[in-house]
Amino acid sequence: MPFVSIGGVTLHYRTFEATGTACPIVFINSLGTDFRIWDHVVARLAGEMPMLVYDKRGHGLSDNGDGVRSIDDHADDLIALIEHFGFDKVVICGLSVGGMVAQGLYARRPDLVEGLILSDTAHRIGTAESWNSRIATIKHDGIEAIADGVLKVWFTPDFHANRAAELAGCRNMLTRQALPGYICTCMAVRDADFTDSARRIAVPTLCIVGDQDGSTPPDLVRALADLIPGARFEVIRGAGHIPCIERPDALTALIRDFVASLPEGTHAHG
């Protein structure tokens, strides 16, 4: 299990090497998950491009440190992680809050970004009222109290009906999440608004959403794509909020196609 200390915060990560000149791709997990949500995708892309997965601060096996006050804290962790590995430029693939971290990183360090894959995310997610209500419930009753509702938006009814073991495993991942990391990131999402910065994104961008996403529905993700100049918008059929678990073949195909479409001559990495 590889760990690295970034600014005094220990982060859990895995890297995957590849031959050739493909740009490295960095995957960012969603709220209440860890980097294992990318396992199916990483397995399919193995050897095609260098990859980095990591547990963002306060999630999985990574430290919470002094907590997270804003999405910028997550973005700064990732900037330091990218620099630690000596990558010149990367493609960033973020899911849900991970997509917000990707937007926040681009706003701070566009020089590091070759392209953005924004999966099941938005420029704004939820309302202050909805986040405050969730935080209050969790503080009082724990993540267990919201777990069933979260799983309903994470996955389609078909997944619930036919993939019971995976569903139970994902529920365990969610409910075993450390409360401080979960609550801090809820607050960060609550306070985040990337509406203006999305309009300034000037790298190739792919926005993806599951057709049955109950957390960031297709219309919301389309609205993000409409803000970003030249962004592509793709819907994955038969998927909820976490296509990397539910429909990894479809998501991997979109990622592979996007990376292949990036300008030639810009794929070198450090």
How much is the pLDDT for 23?
A: 92
First to last CA, the chain: 23
| H or E element in which residue 250 lies | helix 248-261
Residue 268 has pLDDT above 70, yes or no: no
The stretch 12-31 carries a mean pLDDT of 94
Residue 60 included in any domain: yes
Domain count, the chain: 1
How much is the pLDDT for 97?
A: 98
The stretch 236-243 carries a mean pLDDT of 98
Residue 264 has pLDDT above 70, yes or no: no
Percentage of the chain lying above the pLDDT 90 cut = 93
Residue 270 included in any domain: no
CATH code of residue 105: 3.40.50.1820
The stretch 128-141 carries a mean pLDDT of 97
Strand, helix or coil for residue 235: strand
- Let me know: does 29 contact 102? Beta carbons within 8 Å: no
Residue 185 included in any domain: yes
How much is the pLDDT for 263?
A: 86
Band the pLDDT of 270: cuts 50, 70, 90: very low
Domain that holds residue 130: 3-261
Residue 267 included in any domain: no
Strand, helix or coil for residue 269: coil
What is the pLDDT of the chain when averaged over all its residues?
Answer: 95
DSSP line for 167-190: HHHHHHHHHTS-HHHHHHHHHHHH
The residue with tokens 């420029």 is 123
Band the pLDDT of 20: cuts 50, 70, 90: confident
Tokens encoding 82? 């990218």
Band the pLDDT of 19: cuts 50, 70, 90: confident
Residue 145 included in any domain: yes
- For residue range 72-96, list pLDDT tens digits in order: 999 999 999 999 999 999 999 999 9
Residue 173 has pLDDT above 60, yes or no: yes
Band the pLDDT of 7: cuts 50, 70, 90: confident
Residue 9 included in any domain: yes
Residue 80 included in any domain: yes
The stretch 46-72 carries a mean pLDDT of 95
Residue 269 included in any domain: no
- For residue range 91-131, list pLDDT tens digits in order: 999 999 999 999 999 999 999 999 999 999 999 999 999 99
Task: Please state, in angstroms and rounded to a whole number, the distance separating the CA atoms of residues 270 and 202.
Answer: 22
CA–CA–CA angle 208, 20, 40 (5° rounding): 40
Task: Please state, in angstroms and rounded to a whole number, the distance separating the CA atoms of residues 83 and 258.
Answer: 24
The stretch 164-169 carries a mean pLDDT of 98
pTM recorded for the entire structure: 0.96
